[in-house]
Structure 1
Amino acid sequence: MLYLVAILLICSLVLNIILFRSRLQQRTEVKYIRNKLKKVINEETGERLLLYTDDKYIKSMLIQINRLLDHNQKIIGNYNSIELSMRKMLSNISHDLKTPLTVILGYIEMINNDKNLTTERILGLLKTVNVKTVEVLELVNRFFELVKLESGDKKLSVSRIDICEVSRKIILDYYEILINKDFEVVIDLPEDPVFVRGDEDAVERVLHNLISNAIRYGSDGKAIGLKIRIAENDVDIEVSDKGKGINELHKDRVFERMYTLEDSRNTHYQGSGLGLTITKRLVEQMGGSISLDSIPFQKTAFTVRLKRIRY
């Protein structure tokens, strides 16, 4: 009996020692986690918690903490990217506003102060002032349109649209311009109606942006194409040109907010960098996507994919 009691006491002592060591180890590990987290927060580092442990609860907690740290790093990265983009946007808008406003103010000052100006000269200056004023208004309107799209204030009315009819209407708007510029125009549209899911005003704006972009930046190639391809569940609308194209290093960035063609396509054309961003936001709000493929002086094509409707 005494022998059995002695064994039980020894087992109890060993168990307590194991539990004590386990608690001590657990306390040490929790202390490490606390101090490491404090360092990560205070020093804003991208470190993860690395700790070897046999405790399954500590392991589980470490996994979740590291997931949280990774998520936090992504948020910080996105915030920094957006902040940099916004700074560049404001810088570009300031530059793009300053140039025409300087011309406007200069010409108005000339009209007010130079008494020797002829009526013909004054009318010529006022015509330039009008053109520059329209440029300013267009830039401001584009900026506010993008702000509305990204804030969710601009809601699209999605319905069934005959994309062939809309495409024909838009390309006809550019008929005179294309003829005067001696462009070769290749149009490949199905004869029968093809219906997609979208907002008609938004689709028209997207096509206007892409066609005007092709005319402006692809003018060296003297060619423009508009093609519709039908898949089982989608419809692709391709607008192409044969101009200078877009470098492979930059083509994934042309849809970024304020990523201008000064950075990517042609230093002679310095746009505000809003047109393609607005285009992408409109397409995405309609549940579609937009992509770019470019081989300089062969084919630069923007392809909009929208959901097909069969009825």
Structure 2
Amino acid sequence: MVNLLIGIIFILLCVIYIQYKMRKNSSKNLRYTYEKLESIVNEKTGEKLLVMTDDLELQKLLVAINQLLDAKQKTNADHAKVEISMRKMLSNISHDLKTPLTVILGYTEMLNKDKTINEEEQQILLEKVHVKTLEVMELIHKFFDLAKLESGDKAIEMTKVNMNEVCREKILSFYDLVTTKGFHVHIDIPERNIYALGNVEVLGRVLNNLISNAITYGDDGKTLGMTLRDDETNVYIDVWDTGKGIDESHIDKVFERMYTLEDSRNRLYQGSGLGLTITKRLVEAMDGKIHLSSKPYEKTIFTVVLTKMLF
């Protein structure tokens, strides 16, 4: 009987000792976790919490903390990327504003100081000032357009859009210009009506931007095309040219807010990097997507994808 009691007491002492060691290890692990987490947060390192433990609850806690650290580090990286992009865009916009404003200043100084300029020359200089002023206004409008789109201040009214009509109207509005420039025009728009969920005005701006870019940067190929097609769920508009194209390494960047074609093909798509960014935001505002594929001097295609409407 005495031996039994001694055995029970010994077992209880062992259990108490084990529990004490477990609590001590748990306390030690928690203290290490706290100190390490504090160091990671304060020093903004990319480390993760690594603790060897058999405590299932502590393991779950560590997994959750590491997930939060991943999210925070991604947010920090995105924020840093946005800051760099903003600085680049402001630098580009500043440069693009400075150039025409410098020209305007030069012309106005000539008009103000040179009294020998005759009326005809004055008219020519005033016309140049007018053109440069329009350039400045266009850039400012683009900047504010992008700001409004990204802020989401104004919701776009979505309706059933006859894609055939919009595509025909837009490509025909450029027909005189492209034929004057010697372009061959290829239009592939089905006779049957195709409908999509969108906004006529917004879609018109998108196509206007894409066609203008194709004319400007596809001049080497002298070919412009538009194709309207669909499948069971989506409607696709391809605007393409056969010009210089875009290097594969730059394709993923052309829609970035600060991307300029200095990085690709002679200041591609607006010096400030706003043109295609606005186009992409407009497409996304219609719950659509836009893609780019390019084989230089063969075919460069911008594809707008919208949701198909059957009824």
Paired residues, number: 311
Native 8 Å contact 2:162 2:193 kept in 1: yes
How far apart, CA to CA, are the structure 2 residues paired with 1:136 and 1:108? 16
Query: For 2:53 and 2:242, how far apart are their aligned partners in 1?
Result: 62
TM-superposed deviation, 1:266: 2.1
| Cross-structure match for 1:65 | 65
The corresponding residue for 1:165 is: 165
1:169 and 1:16 mapped to 2: Cα distance?
86
Contact 1:262/1:270, CA 8 A, preserved across alignment: no
**Deviations 1:2-28 (Å, cap 9, x if unpaired)?**
233222211110111000000011011
Cα distance in 1 for partners of 2:267, 2:275 equals 17
Aligned-residue CA RMSD in angstroms? 1.1
Q: In structure 2, how many angstroms separate the alpha carbons of the residues matched to 1:53 and 1:38?
A: 20
Check conservation: 2:260, 2:272, Cα contact below 8 A: yes
Report the TM-score, using the length of structure 1 for normalisation. Answer: 0.98
> How far apart are residue 93 of structure 1 and its match?
0.5
Q: What are the equivalent positions in structure 2 for 1:135-154 lying under 5 Å apart? A: 135-154=135-154
Distance in 1 (alpha carbons) for counterparts of 2:201 and 2:90:
28
User: How far 1:264 sits from its partner (Å)?
Assistant: 1.8
Alignment deviations for residues 38-66 of structure 1 (CA, whole Å, 9 cap, x no partner): 11112110000112211101110110011
Structure 1 270/168 Cα, relative in aligned 2: closer, same or farther at 3 Å?
closer
Distance in 2 (alpha carbons) for counterparts of 1:227 and 1:268: 23
Aligned to 1:285: 285
Could you tell me whether the CA contact under 8 Å between 1:262 and 1:269 is conserved in 2?
Answer: no
For 1:36-115, what aligned pairs fall within 5 Å after superposition? Answer: 36-115=36-115
- 2:267 and 2:280 map into 1 onto residues whose CA distance is 23
Instruction: Among all aligned residue pairs of Structure 1 and Structure 2, give the percentage whose two residues are the same amino acid.
Output: 51
Contact between 2:245 and 2:294, CA under 8 Å: does it hold in 1? yes
Q: Which residue of 2 aligns with 1:233?
A: 233
Structure 2's unaligned 5+ residue stretches are none
Letter in 2 for 1:81: K
Measured in 1, the distance between the counterparts of 2:172 and 2:126 equals 31
Higher mean alpha-carbon deviation, 101-110 vs 267-276, is at: 267-276
Inter-partner Cα distance in structure 1 for 2:259 and 2:56: 48
Deviates most, 47-56 or 293-302:
47-56
For residues 36-95 of structure 1, give each alpha carbon's deviation from its aligned partner in whole angstroms, at most 9, with x where no partner exists.
111111211000011221110111011001101111111011101111111011000000
Aligned-pair CA distance for 1:228: 0.9
Structure 1 residues 213-292: aligned runs within 5 Å:
213-267=213-267, 271-292=271-292
Report the 3-state secondary structure (helix = DSSP H, G, I; strand = E; otherwise coil) of the residue aligned with 1:240. strand
Q: Could you tell me whether the CA contact under 8 Å between 1:196 and 1:309 is conserved in 2?
A: yes
1:187 aligns to what SS in structure 2? strand
Q: Within 2, Cα distance between the matches of 1:283 and 1:269?
A: 17
After TM superposition, give the deviation of residue 112 of structure 1 in Å: 0.9
How far 1:293 moved relative to its partner? 0.4
Q: Quick one: which amino acid aligns to residue 105 of structure 1?
A: L
Aligned mates of 1:249, 1:269 — CA distance in 2: 16
Q: Provide the rounded CA distance (Å) in 2 between the counterparts of 1:273 and 1:167.
A: 26
- In 1: Cα distance, 2:152 partner to 2:212 partner: 26
Q: What is the distance in 2 between the residues matched to 1:155 and 1:132?
A: 33
Task: Sort the Cα spacing of 1:268 and 1:260 in 2 relative to 1 into closer, same or farther, 3 A.
Answer: closer
Counterpart position of 1:21: 21
Given the alignment of the two structures, is residue 128 of structure 1 paired with residue 128 of structure 2, yes or no? yes
Cα distance in 1 between the residues matched to 2:163 and 2:52: 60
User: C-alpha distance in 1, partners of 2:191/2:116?
Assistant: 61
Alignment of 1:182-193 (within 5 A): 182-193=182-193
**Equivalent AA in structure 1 for residue 55 of structure 2:** D
Tell me, which stretches of 5 or more residues in structure 1 are unaligned?
none
**How far 1:154 moved relative to its partner?**
2.5
In the superposition, the TM-score normalised over structure 2's length comes to 0.98
Structure 2 CA distance for aligned equivalents of residues 293 and 155 of structure 1? 30
